[in-house]
Amino acid sequence: SQQGEEDPQALSIQEGENATMNCSYKTSINNLQWYRQNSGRGLVHLILIRSNEREKHSGRLRVTLDTSKKSSSLLITASRAADTASYFCATDTGTASKLTFGTGTRLQVTL
């Protein structure tokens, strides 16, 4: 079963704009991760944020985590056409535990 949902389900923006996608989850977590998936391909790990962290940056990516609201957001700044993909959040409840994924946001970046 899915842990939660990403919002929006689909997002279309122009190159150079920022893209923000949100993830909500249902249970207490240890870590939250974001992954990118190009159509029909495997998942690429983007960033991991631990439950005791509130914000994390990696290049053009900024992730926030609000454990009181059980939600996270992924911001991609200065988007590029190559960012076109589906983005998934995934949570775990321990260091060695399985990941539980959301339903994904499909991002389309147009020139």
The residues binding other proteins (CB under 8 A) are: 1-2, 30-31, 33, 35, 40-45, 48, 50, 88, 90, 92, 94-104
Pick the closer one to other proteins by CB: 42 or 111: 42
> Residue 81 and residue 89: Cα distance in Å, rounded?
21
22 Cβ contact partners less than 8 Å away, ≥ 6 residues apart = 6, 7, 71, 72, 73, 74
Shortest distance in whole angstroms from residue 45 CB to other proteins: 6
Asked if 104 and 23 count as a contact pair (C-beta separation under 8 A), the reply is no
Pick the closer one to other proteins by CB: 79 or 105: 105
Pick the closer one to other proteins by CB: 102 or 109: 102
Shortest distance in whole angstroms from residue 13 CB to other proteins: 21
Pick the closer one to other proteins by CB: 42 or 59: 42
Give Cα separations from 98 to 18, 38, 101 (angstroms). 31, 22, 10
Shortest distance in whole angstroms from residue 44 CB to other proteins: 8
Query: The tokens of 9 are what?
Result: 């389900």
